[in-house]
Amino acid sequence: MFQKIIQTDSSKTTIIIRLMVGAIFLSEGIQKFLFSEIVGAGRFKKIGFDNPEFWAQFTGFFEILCGSLILAGFLTRLATIPLLSIMLVAFITTKYPILIDKGFWIMAHEYRTDFAMTLGNLFLLIKGSGNWSTDFKILNKK
């Protein structure tokens, strides 16, 4: 089972997607703690979450943990799952209302970063962490 989770292709270019996805999620997670009123609990309160402090810290923790795992290329496929869940909730709570109220093109503009992060996560879920990763080193250690 563990080998299926860490299995990856031998692509060397996957690191580009890994660095983008991992660094952005790590950064966003840290910012939820550093700038709580803007992107952490304050933002979650503005969106309408009950117990916004908990949800901001919960989300920030998983963004930091999973972003770090993706950067290291360790358990990359597994790390994408919580991040995809975060992106789904972000779409439902912040972008879908824009789609309904302001239309497709305004939503598309607002969703561009989330869309790129979602596709990056899907790519890593499908392909794995690539040749330059901890997963690849563990799997090919003989």
Q: Is residue 32 part of a domain?
A: yes
Report the domain count for the chain: 1
The answer to whether residue 19 sits within a structural domain is yes
Write the CA distances from 48 to 12, 53, 55, 63, 124, integer angstroms: 42, 12, 11, 20, 31
Which of residues 45 and 140 earns the better pLDDT score?
45
Say if 5 falls within a structural domain.
no
105 domain residue, yes or no: yes
Within a domain: 20: yes
Q: CA 55, 126, 12: angle at the middle one, nearest 5? A: 110
Q: For the chain, what percent of residues have pLDDT higher than 90?
A: 88
Query: Which of 3-7, 23-27, 117-121 has the least mean pLDDT?
Result: 3-7
- Model confidence pLDDT, tens digit, residues 51-72: 999 999 999 999 999 999 999 9
Quote the pTM value.
Answer: 0.92
**Residue 38 belongs to what domain range?**
12-136
User: Using one digit for the tens of pLDDT, what is the confidence trace for 118-130?
Assistant: 999 999 999 999 9
Selection from 28, 34, 31, 57 nearest residue 44 by Cα: 57
User: 34 lies in a domain?
Assistant: yes
Q: Is residue 31 in a domain?
A: yes
Residue 115 lies in a domain: yes
Q: pLDDT tens for residues 80-95? A: 999 999 999 999 999 9
